[in-house]
């Protein structure tokens, strides 16, 4: 019998399993695929680095990554109607200890974390899909699974962590998963060679471009390739006709600067399309279970926050679960505190995500000012410093005030942007059920 079963062998699950194993718990981890495997989400945040240090894998990540000193935003200033480029360097954030991050190929990054998990002592199963989780009595969890050949078996544990990503195994089973009423988006993306890169210290920076139907990302990887994708409104992706390859190139043509950087680009593999349908769960924990990462909530990848929020949540959850095992009478108090903290971090990111495509946000990002250290606070948010830094939180409230002041001055465009977002959310809700992530 295991103490804890972890469902999912991505960054969140392996972080939780590694740290729990270090604490002496008997941990079993199930991964439905086999590493290394493709995954999107290559851009890490500076606040990932202390987590990687704690896991003991930072040097390995350095070897596969390219240094990311900041995030570059490109768009037309709604006031001047001129194209601008602004780079927000992490060295200008409040936390000077971590002035950079890394861009990583996720197949390599996830593999490092998975191998580290095994080395820490966790029992791991690849090509094993968990099919059912039952809770026959308090402190007893029954986990059923199938291997690659389709053979079924089960095991017992005291506790289960769902880190299954957007499969959201437990959240679906318990009918906890609910569509986000504020935001919805879709994405189409691939890996390319021959994409024009920035030079010097900017070579590893992520580039983000606004366009009519959403925004683009260009993420440079260490081997010279580039991850390129477009996150767009679902009603735009619904117009997809023909191949996903053709549709992505058609979308790229809508932004002159992206198209220019892609003039010599060659596709290195499959072009994929997904519904980045935003959702959350009604609760994060219950008797003998906890939901982490995308298994708990997913919003939008615009600030590359997914991997960080998931891994950070796993670190916090491990300490909470450890305390709960040692003092069961404090479980409700400890888990409620954890859920409040995790939801608070997600909420801070969401405030920016919901408004990112608005003309007001474009104007503010294209014309940054550090009055009252507001720009430093925004950069701290981009770095992932959203939980404990009171200086950041206070100054982000100033930014909210500045945003709403500009919104009143740009009211027609702001209303138009809000109505577009509302229409796309309503389109998803009219379908009546949680959409599948896969589109093509």
φ/ψ region of 81 (left if φ > 0, alpha if ψ in -120 to 50, else beta) reads left
φ/ψ region of 153 (left if φ > 0, alpha if ψ in -120 to 50, else beta) reads beta
How many other C-beta atoms can be found within 10 angstroms of the C-beta atom of residue 267?
A: 15
| CB burial of residue 269 (10 Å; 0-12, 13-18, 19+) | exposed
Residue 432 DSSP class = -
Q: What is the largest CA-CA distance in the chain?
A: 65
Distances (CA, A) of 339 to 63, 85, 134, 382, 397: 34, 37, 23, 22, 22
How many other C-beta atoms can be found within 10 angstroms of the C-beta atom of residue 317?
A: 28
Token pair in block for residue 374: 């507001």
d(CA 59, CA 64): 9
| CB burial of residue 235 (10 Å; 0-12, 13-18, 19+) | middle
d(CA 210, CA 177): 30
Domains and CATH numbers, the chain: 2-38+104-176+280-347 (3.50.50.60)
Task: Note down pLDDT in tens along the chain; length 440 residues.
Answer: 899 999 999 999 999 999 999 999 999 999 999 999 999 999 999 999 999 999 999 999 999 999 999 999 999 876 677 889 999 999 999 999 999 999 999 999 999 999 999 999 999 999 999 999 999 999 999 999 999 999 999 999 999 999 999 999 999 999 999 988 778 788 999 999 999 999 999 999 999 999 989 999 999 999 999 999 999 988 888 888 889 999 999 999 999 999 999 999 999 999 998 876 789 999 999 999 999 999 999 988 889 999 999 999 999 999 999 999 999 999 999 999 999 999 999 999 999 999 999 989 999 999 999 999 999 999 999 999 999 899 999 999 999 999 999 888 887 777 777 676 666 666 555 554 444 443 33
d(CA 168, CA 148): 20
């Amino acid at each position: 019998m295991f103490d804890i079963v972890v469902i999912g062998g991505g960054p969140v699950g392996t972080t939780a399993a590694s740290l729990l194993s270090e604490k002496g718990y008997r941990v079993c981890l199930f991964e439905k695929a086999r590493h290394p495997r493709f995954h999107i989400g290559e851009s890490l945040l500076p606040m990932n680095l202390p987590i990687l240090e704690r896991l003991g894998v930072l040097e390995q990540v350095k070897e596969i990554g390219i240094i990311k000193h900041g995030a570059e935003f490109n768009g037309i200033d709604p006031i001047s109607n001129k194209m601008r480029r602004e780079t927000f360097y992490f060295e200008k954030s409040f936390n000077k200890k971590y002035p950079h991050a890394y861009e990583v190929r996720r197949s390599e990054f996830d593999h490092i974390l998975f191998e580290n998990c095994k080395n820490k002592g966790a029992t791991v199963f690849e090509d094993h899909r968990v099919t059912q989780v039952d809770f026959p009595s308090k402190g007893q969890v029954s986990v059923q699974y199938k291997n690659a050949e389709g053979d079924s078996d089960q095991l017992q544990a005291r506790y289960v962590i769902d880190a299954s990503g957007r499969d959201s195994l437990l959240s679906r089973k318990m009918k906890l998963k609910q569509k986000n009423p504020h935001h919805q988006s879709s994405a189409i993306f691939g890996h390319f060679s021959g994409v024009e890169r920035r030079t010097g210290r900017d070579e590893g920076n992520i580039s983000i471009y606004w366009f009519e139907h959403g925004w683009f990302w260009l993420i440079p990887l260490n081997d010279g390739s580039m991850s390129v994708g477009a996150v767009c409104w679902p009603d735009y992706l619904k117009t997809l006709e023909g191949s996903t390859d053709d549709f992505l190139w058609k979308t790229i043509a809508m932004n002159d600067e992206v198209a220019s950087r892609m003039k010599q680009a060659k596709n290195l593999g499959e072009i994929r399309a997904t519904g980045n349908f935003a959702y959350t769960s009604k609760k994060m924990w219950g008797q003998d279970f906890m939901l982490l990462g995308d298994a708990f909530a997913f919003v939008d990848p615009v600030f590359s926050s997914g991997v960080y929020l998931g891994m950070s949540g796993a670190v916090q959850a491990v300490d909470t679960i450890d305390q709960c095992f040692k003092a069961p009478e404090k479980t409700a108090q400890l888990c409620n505190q954890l859920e409040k903290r995790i939801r608070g971090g997600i909420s801070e990111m969401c405030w920016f995500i919901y408004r990112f495509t608005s003309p007001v946000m474009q104007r503010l990002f294209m014309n940054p000012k550090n009055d009252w250290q507001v720009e430093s606070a925004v950069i701290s948010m981009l770095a992932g410093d959203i939980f404990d830094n009171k200086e950041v939180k206070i100054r982000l409230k100033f930014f909210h005030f500045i945003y709403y002041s500009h919104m009143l001055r740009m009211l027609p465009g702001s209303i138009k942007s809000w109505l577009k977002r509302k229409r796309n959310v309503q389109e998803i809700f009219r379908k009546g059920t949680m959409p599948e992530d896969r589109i093509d």
